[in-house]
Amino acid sequence: MAMAEVPELNDFSMEYSEDVEEFYIDDLSFKQKTNKAHIQWKLHKDCWSPFHSGVKSEIRKPGKPMSSFRKAIMLVVVVEKLKGKTRSEKQDFFGDDDLLNHILVEEDITCDEIQTYDARISKFQYNKTTVHIIRDHRQKCLALQQFQDNARLVSLFLQGQNIEREAKINVNSYITAPFDVNKRPVTLGIAGSKFYLCCSAEEGSQDPVLCLKEVDNIKDIKNDDLLPFMFFKKPSSGVFNSFESAAFPSYCISTSQQENQQVQLKPQESQVFLQDFIVNPNF
């Protein structure tokens, strides 16, 4: 008896057709694969096995598979065909531009001018104002002299009725961090006027110049604008104090050895000018 030849797996086509459905059957006891050639065997007795004469064999055509199975086969076939197409052959039905064109709309943006303000915290915070009499260690008084539009502060000896010419000084004290009791920031103004002692650089002069400048309200001056008016009150020998410029470190308020001379700003190592002062009452 000749042996039946089993076809190779590669001989079957992967293309989908109506005949594909005939390859599958779902039974309670087994699954059997067949094709159209097998269907013709069911009426030929020659195909029956002689060893099972009492049993009638029958090969039945399977029923239609479920619709979901058919859709799955169709989906696989479509995907396989799309894989063979190039990018240019594929059709884009909906792109990003189609969506963004309806969402993003170009509009002109108008910018208004916005004024900005300096919100920095001042290095020096105003504390309080006290009135004092300040003299150099030789007891020369400070007096205000005015000539038309010019004003200056001079040191001279005053006694008797002339003592009324002595200027009283508004000492505005400030708080700074870190606090240093030996270096207290102050501004010095002439009581009864708008004049404040101010330090500035003058062209042609080797040393900075001490002058009087009118200020409506010293409390309104902040940050770097306050530095020319700021002095550090520092204790010196005994009951004396010196006043060092904050804008020009190592330069101090100084008086001349001679009388009726203008109060100036000189280096603290100067041996000619007097830089130690008595502040009454003490603060």
Buried b (16+ CB within 10 A) or exposed e, 193-230: eebbbbbeeeeeeeebebbbeebeebeebeeeebbbbb
* Chain CA centroid to CA 149, Å: 50
Helix (H) / strand (E) element for 136: namely strand 125-136
- From 232, 225, 279, select the one nearest 253 (Cα to Cα): 232
225/212 Cα distance (integer angstroms): 15
| Span 22-77, pLDDT tens digits | 444 444 344 444 444 444 544 444 444 444 445 555 555 555 555 677 777 877 77
Q: pLDDT tens digits, residue range 105-154? A: 556 666 555 454 444 556 899 999 999 999 999 999 999 999 888 899 99
Q: What does the alpha-carbon distance between residue 75 and residue 213 come to, in Å, rounded to a whole number?
A: 94
Question: Looking at residue 108, what is its pLDDT?
Answer: 63
More confident residue, 74 or 225: 225
Residue spans per domain, the chain: 12-91, 125-280
Q: And the tokens for 240? A: 């004396």
Percent above pLDDT 70 for the chain: 62
How many CB atoms within 10 Å of residue 238?
A: 9
Q: For the purposes of burial, counting CB atoms within 10 Å of the CB of 121, is it exposed (0-12), middle (13-18) or buried (19 or more)? A: exposed
Cβ(277)–Cβ(241) under 8 Å? Answer: yes
234, 188 in Cβ contact below 8 A? no
**For residue 104, what pLDDT is reported?**
52
Structure tokens at 8: 């190779």
Show Cβ contacts of residue 219 under 8 Å, excluding neighbours closer than 6 positions.
Answer: 126, 172
* pLDDT of res. 12: 45
- CATH class of residue range 125-280: mainly beta
